[in-house]
Chain A
């Protein structure tokens, strides 16, 4: 298994500790003038998102994590199981709710997403930054009130709830930023 020496340590490195995949989110080199060189690292667990504080000394090494990113199409949802297909190999993956996490709110059949694999097993899914979804239901717009700062909840075709401006109507298509989970604009079909 390839490994990284402390000289390779830097932000963004994907490593494996006790069999789990971590992303190095911080690496500080500290060395007392006459003392030992130390590398103070923060590592984020790529599945659980917990952060680990670890200190290494020069000469230590960490195993590289076998992480790959593929483009996969969302096929359909069955209960709490989500089915995806690798765009290149056509291999199918079943992801549980815990792996899909918040991404379920934006998943529409046929959507192209990026999927992270650790040792060839899916560990995360990221939808496109912007998605267009239909509003399943919301309260009708209050007549005459066109201010954009008046908002209301809306139910999307995926079943997720989103805060939208008052003027948006049921059945309309809207663009959403999946990174912030915020409404951007109405889209004409």
Chain B
């Protein structure tokens, strides 16, 4: 059971309270400002509208592995947003065509060289886009900001076949479990039938380190069980129209061909909460204003969330987030 304020593992002891200077140097902070300018310029040139949405809301994304900070506001429990997704989709349903924002997001239990509980997200949506257009726009942004050439687009299935020699969509659970033994002893607490848990382990240890090494890579067509808020394409086996950008083995962005059907979202919320409870976590509210917006009608669209701090890391050639943020959590 996770307690409020519980954070993830840290590499080292936090510095004592007399440490007050920034962890990032001035060249890194100037580069950060330059990338913010390039990002805004990219969207402004394409006619996107910059928007701002609340950080504190009674609604939150119901995900098995995303833990929001709960904040008591009077008699109400609110959540610091893990991404601006819900509010931005409400703007889409209200007639937004192409919108973006650069905002802070908060996630509990995430602290390490590549994680800070408070971080900066660039998030955008464009009506009319599907999987292909969504991936292409992400690739264009990556090229405009990082100047590293076009990304290689590779399916989740193909990447697993190439780097782990296993078919993630059809391999039996026993084969997935056996494949994880190549890189050490897996967690004893990982349930034998937790297919996504075993896939995550193979992804992190055997596939991801190879992604985006020579050129950026966009992984797409995730297992349907990992659809999150993406549409599922009904083929055999079905796949989620979800995509992620990797550079130098690091995950930078996650995007969806957006789910439009409120009934499907209700079912996924219920499934995710059941999994959270089985994991010993608190369930999150399943009813939200996004469902009402989806009832009213969300346009066909694709949307992406990109971790801006990690983008700066790549541009700066940094190994840790604290090299590109002035005051990471332990210094905040």
Which one of B6, B197, B251 lies within 8 Å of A57 (CB-CB)? B197
A33 contacts B by Cβ under 8 Å: yes
Contact B185 A53 (CB under 8 A): yes
The segment from B31-39, B105-113, B262-270, B289-297 found at the interface with A is B105-113
Name the residue of chain B whose CB is nearest to the CB of A42.
Answer: B184
Q: Which of A136-165 contact B (CB under 8 A)?
A: none
Q: Is the interface of B mostly helix, strand, loop or mixed?
A: loop
The segment from A4-12, A65-73, A74-82, A121-129 found at the interface with B is A4-12
Chain A contacts of B254 at CB under 8 A?
Answer: 33-34
CA gap between A30 and B204 in the complex, in Å:
7
Contact B196 A29 (CB under 8 A): no
Q: Which of A31-85 contact B (CB under 8 A)?
A: 31-40, 52-60
Contact B184 A38 (CB under 8 A): no
Which one of B10, B65, B111, B112 lies within 8 Å of A34 (CB-CB)? B65
The segment from B17-25, B72-80, B125-133, B186-194 found at the interface with A is B186-194
Q: Which of B203-245 contact A (CB under 8 A)?
A: 203-205, 208, 226, 228, 244
Q: Which residue, of B2, B9, B13, B66, has the highest number of chain A Cβ atoms within 10 A?
A: B9
Given known A-B contacts A29-B111, A34-B63, A54-B184, A7 and B8 have beta carbons under 8 A apart: yes
Contact A7 B200 (CB under 8 A): no
B7 contacts A by Cβ under 8 Å: yes
Contact B204 A32 (CB under 8 A): yes
CA gap between A11 and B113 in the complex, in Å:
13
A28 contacts B by Cβ under 8 Å: yes
A27 contacts B by Cβ under 8 Å: yes
CA gap between A158 and B158 in the complex, in Å:
63
Name the residue of chain A whose CB is nearest to the CB of B251.
Answer: A33
Name the residue of chain A whose CB is nearest to the CB of B198.
Answer: A36
Chain A contacts of B7 at CB under 8 A?
Answer: 7
Measured as residues with beta carbon below 8 angstroms from the partner, the interface class of chain A is 20 to 34
Contact B110 A31 (CB under 8 A): yes
B279 contacts A by Cβ under 8 Å: yes
Contact B279 A34 (CB under 8 A): no
Contact A36 B9 (CB under 8 A): no
Which one of A8, A34, A36 lies within 8 Å of B197 (CB-CB)? A36
Q: Which of A1-20 contact B (CB under 8 A)?
A: 6-11
Given known A-B contacts A38-B187, A38-B200, A59-B279, A32 and B251 have beta carbons under 8 A apart: yes
CA gap between A52 and B12 in the complex, in Å:
20
Chain A contacts of B110 at CB under 8 A?
Answer: 29, 31, 37
Contact B244 A9 (CB under 8 A): no
CA gap between A37 and B187 in the complex, in Å:
11
Chain A contacts of B244 at CB under 8 A?
Answer: 33
Chain A contacts of B274 at CB under 8 A?
Answer: none
Chain A contacts of B251 at CB under 8 A?
Answer: 32-33
B183 contacts A by Cβ under 8 Å: yes
Min distance, Cβ A47 to any Cβ of chain B, angstroms? 19
B16 contacts A by Cβ under 8 Å: no
Min distance, Cβ B272 to any Cβ of chain A, angstroms? 11
Contact B187 A57 (CB under 8 A): yes
Min distance, Cβ A35 to any Cβ of chain B, angstroms? 4
Contact A38 B115 (CB under 8 A): no
Name the residue of chain A whose CB is nearest to the CB of B226.
Answer: A34
Chain A contacts of B12 at CB under 8 A?
Answer: 10-11
Contact B9 A7 (CB under 8 A): yes
Q: Which residue, of A38, A56, A57, has the highest number of chain B Cβ atoms within 10 A?
A: A57
Enumerate chain A interface residues (CB-CB to B < 8 A).
Answer: 6-11, 27-40, 52-60
Closest 6 CB pairs of A and B: A29-B112, A53-B184, A35-B200, A9-B9, A57-B187, A29-B9
Q: Could you list some 19 contacts between A and B, CB below 8 A?
A: A9-B9, A29-B111, A30-B114, A31-B8, A31-B65, A33-B254, A34-B63, A35-B65, A37-B8, A40-B184, A53-B183, A53-B184, A54-B185, A55-B184, A55-B205, A56-B187, A56-B189, A58-B2, A60-B187
- Excluding A6-B9, A10-B13, A57-B197, 5 further A-B contacts by CB distance (< 8 Å) are A6-B8, A31-B8, A32-B203, A34-B66, A58-B2
